[in-house]
Amino acid sequence: MKQVLEGNSAVAEAVRLARVQVISAYPITPQSHIVEVLSDYCATGKMDARYLRVESEHSCLASLVGAACGGVRTFTATSSAGLAYMHEMLHWTAGSRLPIVMAEVNRALGAPWNIWSDQTDSLSQRDTGWIQLYCEDGQEVFDTTLQAFRLAEWVNLPVMVVMEGFLLSHTYEPVDIPEQEEVDRFLPPYNPAFKVDTKNPFTVNSIAPPSIYMEIRHDNAVAMDQVPERFDDVEKEFEVLFNRRYGAVEAINCDDAEIILVTSGTITSTARLLLEDLRDRGEKVALLKMKMFRPFPVELVCRALKSAKKVAVIDRNFSSGAGGIFLQEVRAALCNRQDRPLVFGYVVGLGGRDVTKAVLEEIYKATKDGDVPSDKSVWIGLREVKHAIGR
Amino acid sequence: MRLDADEREFMCSGHAACPGCGAVIALRIFTKAMGENTILVIPASCTGVIVGVYPQSVMRIPVVHAPMPAGASVASGLRAALDMRGDTDTTVVAWAGDGGTFDIGFQALSGAVERNEDFIYVCYDNEAYMNTGIQCSSSTPYGAWTTTTPGQDWKRLRKKNIVEALVAHRIPYVATANIAFPEDLVRKVKKAKSIKGSKFLHIFASCPPGWRIPSEISVKTARMAVQANIFPLYEVEDGVRYTINYKGKQRPVQDYFEVQGRFSHLTAEDFEQIQKMVEEDWELLQRKAGDQAADACIQSSSAKRAIKPNKVF
Ligand SMILES: Cc1ncc(C[n+]2csc(CCOP(=O)(O)OP(=O)(O)O)c2C)c(N)n1
Ligand code: SF4
């Protein structure tokens, strides 16, 4: 049934329908509505789950590691500083091969304080071994959260469902919420690969010396490498029941385009509008939406960008000293391909600055007119400021 | 000596500890008192190594290794999972060193016991970060040498009173214990196991290399800490009812300090000052235990303050 929900509530509904058994969370704007709704569901019996009201994000993820070792389905949500505070546990979760699902609401990292949308928080955790899926609208947030449990439990890796703060978390949209029975058909009860039990004593995560650590990590790599294929399988199952499908990447008009814009998250929706306009004007332009960031779907990206002359990667995130993070990954994916396109990179919208159609059109023009891409990302829409340190 | 504990051993031989390791003695007695329906959560510490390197384990009960700050939080989640599975027979135990308890794990511990998580949290206290090479922790006592309080820069700060910090959370049960008093330890473990909610056991566990003592006096040294009132044996129920468990043979602090190389730089003056500090703490504790008795007395009659702690030994 269609309901008008904010993105945060869409997450909470998916978690309820996924019959999560242990939830642990620590509040942070703009994630807080998710945990408020879920703690209410646990308190009122709308969910048969334990809600752990932990004192920090480190403990939050640590408690879910304990719960997942105990063989139950687990969920948390966080953002920005909270995610950074989890860093040690992010590695630990993936290393333990625990299928924990997290909603990550993108928010800028301080200093200075800023609570608005910026993907640097999740992207700077790219090497922690979590699958990362970026969402564009409320329906995708809901669907991806459900899919995340199926995927995580299939490959025994944790999944981060990433959505932008306010732009998705606090925006109300119609979201189709299925019945419990339908969800149960898609997502069977969790059948853990292992669970700690006194009847069958074993040790979890004892010291692994150099003679075995590499093999354990390689196991992680093999599991991660399967993800694009497994995600496709999950989406096929999902589509049969719910008639919706997203793809690890979505290539729109890429076959005959000269210039392809590469986006993720909500900027994609704006880019879709621009694409229509430009196509109407006869421009040979296309759009590649990146949903999956980890693992980076190299094959799919290269296939989509194959025929283009130029690619413009648009990043609402920034790695100081290296530029936009999607830009780095797209360049790395293409570097060994023949006839690869020129790759231009743009940094936009940091700390929640609005990314309008006009901004994207400026990027398109700059790419079309540019001969050689800059090594660095080009910053769009910078204002003149008087106070600058360290110039 | 026969202990009122499981005949079976839950810790096998072949562990990786130094000879005379107090942590091992503590763990062996503790697990015998707990029995097989026990899961250990072990944050990074000497015990994390002692229990075995992959693919071997010396434990016959399940062990979940945890990051150093996460003993109490991993245990909380595991308890929640067992509850959801309907497993009420199993006791979850977090087993952490003093560094993992007093310092980096303190926030998680405080959070977990504030929620009154149903687990036993054990801090085996060897008074420094031993696993990383005898660095100072907030449990390191006044006067001690460690590798980060070297030479004349020995620690001139008092040991953090972790028991009182836990008591302040008003959890159902907090107790101190010592490897040299195994019957008392077993009794406290069993008591902790029988109580619902958060239980905290603080077990004094000597460390021969860290304390610069020969391994054969490991237990004796731990015993002297009790006799000198440096590590009193007591328990606190519901954050208010204090019971002192040992008032046997007494010793001056110097006896305890003199046998340990980590205190070899201390002078007679230092001993005098430490003796005063210990007496001050001991009196404070007696007053807490005694005030209880006094209150009870005042209610029943107008009898004088009875500062007579319960005696177990
Ligand atoms: C976050 C983090 N910081 C530092 C360490 C390194 N480390 C491992 S064990 C340890 C000391 C443990 O000391 P304690 O808890 O007192 O136990 P002990 O080794 O003395 O038995 C340290 C500092 C770590 N594992 N994790
Ligand atoms: S260093 Fe101390 S605590 Fe660690 S194993 Fe050796 S004796 Fe035990």
- Residue A300 near residue A293, CB atoms below 8 Å: no
Write out the H or E segment, with its range, that includes residue A119: none
Write out the H or E segment, with its range, that includes residue A281: none
**Listed residue (A350, A347, A356) closest to A378, CA to CA:** A347
Q: Identify which of A62, A64, A69 has the shortest CB distance to residue B108.
A: A62
pLDDT of residue A386: 82
The tens-digit pLDDT sequence of chain B (313 residues) is: 689 999 999 999 999 899 999 999 999 999 999 999 999 999 999 999 999 999 999 999 999 999 999 999 999 999 999 999 999 999 999 999 999 999 999 999 999 999 999 999 999 999 999 999 999 999 999 999 999 999 999 999 999 999 999 999 999 999 999 999 999 999 999 999 999 999 999 999 999 999 999 999 999 999 999 999 999 999 999 999 999 999 889 999 999 999 999 999 999 999 999 999 999 999 999 999 985 544 443 333 333 333 333 333 3
- Residue A82 near residue A106, CB atoms below 8 Å: no
**Residue B63 in tokens:** 């062990």
pLDDT of residue B247: 81
Whether the predicted pLDDT of A35 surpasses 50: yes
Per-residue pLDDT averaged across A78-91, rounded?
A: 98
Asked if B60's CB is within 8 angstroms of A65's CB, the reply is no
pLDDT bracket for residue A390 (50, 70, 90): low
- 10 Å Cβ neighbour count for A29? 17
pLDDT of residue B312: 33
Asked if A207's CB is within 8 angstroms of B54's CB, the reply is yes
Does residue A89 sit at the B interface (CB-CB below 8 Å)?
yes
Tokens 């925006």, residue located? A171
Does residue A342 sit at the B interface (CB-CB below 8 Å)?
no
Q: How far apart are CA B172 and CA B118, in angstroms?
A: 10
pLDDT of residue B305: 35
Asked if A50's CB is within 8 angstroms of B78's CB, the reply is no
Q: Identify which of B69, B74, B82 has the shortest CB distance to residue A65.
A: B74
Q: How far is CA A334 from the centre of its chain?
A: 22
Nearest atom, ligand 2, residue B49 CA:
5
Question: Whose Cα sits closest to atom 8 in ligand 2?
Answer: B21
Question: Whose Cα sits closest to atom 2 in ligand 1?
Answer: B68
Asked if A49's CB is within 8 angstroms of B76's CB, the reply is no
Amino acid in position A56: S
The reply to whether ipTM tops 0.90 is yes
pLDDT exceeding 90 applies to what percent of chain A?
Answer: 97
Q: Identify which of B48, B81, B90 has the shortest CB distance to residue A71.
A: B81
**Listed residue (A270, A276, A289, A360) closest to A330, CA to CA:** A289
Using CB atoms and an 8 Å cut-off, which of residues 154-213 of chain A contact chain B? 195-198, 201-209, 212
Q: What pTM value is reported for the model?
A: 0.95
Ligand 2 center–CA B22 separation, angstroms: 7
- Reduce the DSSP state of residue A312 to 3 states and report it: strand
Q: Identify which of A49, A66, A198 has the shortest CB distance to residue B76.
A: A66
pLDDT of residue A338: 93
Out of 3.40.190.10, 3.40.50.970, 3.90.930.12, 1.10.10.10, select the CATH number for domain B22-306: 3.40.50.970
What residues flank ligand 2, with Cβ below 6 Å? B 17-18, 21, 23, 46, 50, 126, 130, 207-210
Q: Identify which of B49, B73, B76 has the shortest CB distance to residue A207.
A: B49
pLDDT bracket for residue A391 (50, 70, 90): low
Mind listing the domains of chain A with CATH numbers? 2-240 (3.40.50.970), 250-379 (3.40.50.920)
**Listed residue (B152, B115, B109, B122) closest to B264, CA to CA:** B152
Asked if A196's CB is within 8 angstroms of B77's CB, the reply is no
Q: Which residues of B touch A59 (CB under 8 A)?
A: 70, 72-73, 76, 107-108, 111-112
Query: Which of B27, B50, B68 has most ligand 1 atoms within 8 Å of CB, for mutation?
Result: B68
Alpha helices in A226-356 (DSSP H): 227-242, 267-280, 298-305, 325-334
Alpha helices in chain A (DSSP H): 7-17, 32-44, 57-69, 80-85, 87-95, 120-123, 138-155, 180-186, 210-225, 227-242, 267-280, 298-305, 325-334, 357-369
Q: How far apart are CA A207 and CA B170, in angstroms?
A: 36
From the number of C-beta atoms within 10 Å of its C-beta (0-12, 13-18, 19+), residue A366 rates as: middle
Per-residue pLDDT averaged across A20-49, rounded?
A: 98
**Residue A6 in tokens:** 């904010």
B183 Cα to chain A: minimum distance (Å) = 26
B148 Cα to chain A: minimum distance (Å) = 25
Residues facing B242 on adjacent strands = B236
B54 Cα to chain A: minimum distance (Å) = 5
Does residue A217 sit at the B interface (CB-CB below 8 Å)?
no
**Listed residue (A310, A290, A309) closest to A301, CA to CA:** A290
Instruction: Express each pLDDT in A274-318 by its tens digit.
Output: 999 999 999 999 999 999 999 999 999 999 999 999 999 999 999
Q: How far apart are CA A294 and CA A305, in angstroms?
A: 19
Question: Whose Cα sits closest to atom 3 in ligand 2?
Answer: B207
Instruction: Express each pLDDT in A335-382 by its tens digit.
Output: 999 999 999 999 999 999 999 999 999 999 999 999 999 999 999 999
Q: Is the CB of B206 under 6 A from ligand 1?
A: no
- Residue B117 near residue B198, CB atoms below 8 Å: yes
- Residue B98 near residue B125, CB atoms below 8 Å: yes
Q: Contacts for A244-249 with beta carbons within 8 Å, 24 or more apart?
A: A244/A139, A244/A143, A246/A140, A246/A143, A246/A144, A246/A291, A247/A291, A247/A300, A248/A291, A248/A292, A248/A297, A248/A300, A249/A288, A249/A289, A249/A290, A249/A291, A249/A292, A249/A297, A249/A300, A249/A301, A249/A304
**Listed residue (B221, B238, B133, B241) closest to B180, CA to CA:** B221
- Residue B201 near residue B162, CB atoms below 8 Å: no
Instruction: Return mean pLDDT, chain A.
Output: 97
Instruction: Express each pLDDT in A134-167 by its tens digit.
Output: 999 999 999 999 999 999 999 999 999 999 999 9
DSSP type of residue B102: I
Asked if A204's CB is within 8 angstroms of B63's CB, the reply is yes
Backbone phi, then psi, for A24, in 5-degree steps? -135, 135
Asked if B55's CB is within 8 angstroms of A66's CB, the reply is no
Q: How far is CA B91 from the centre of its chain?
A: 18
Asked if A207's CB is within 8 angstroms of B73's CB, the reply is no
B270 Cα to chain A: minimum distance (Å) = 40
Q: How far apart are CA A150 and CA A99, in angstroms?
A: 9
pLDDT of residue B292: 52
Q: Which residues of B touch A67 (CB under 8 A)?
A: 77-78, 80-81, 84
Asked if B90's CB is within 8 angstroms of A55's CB, the reply is no
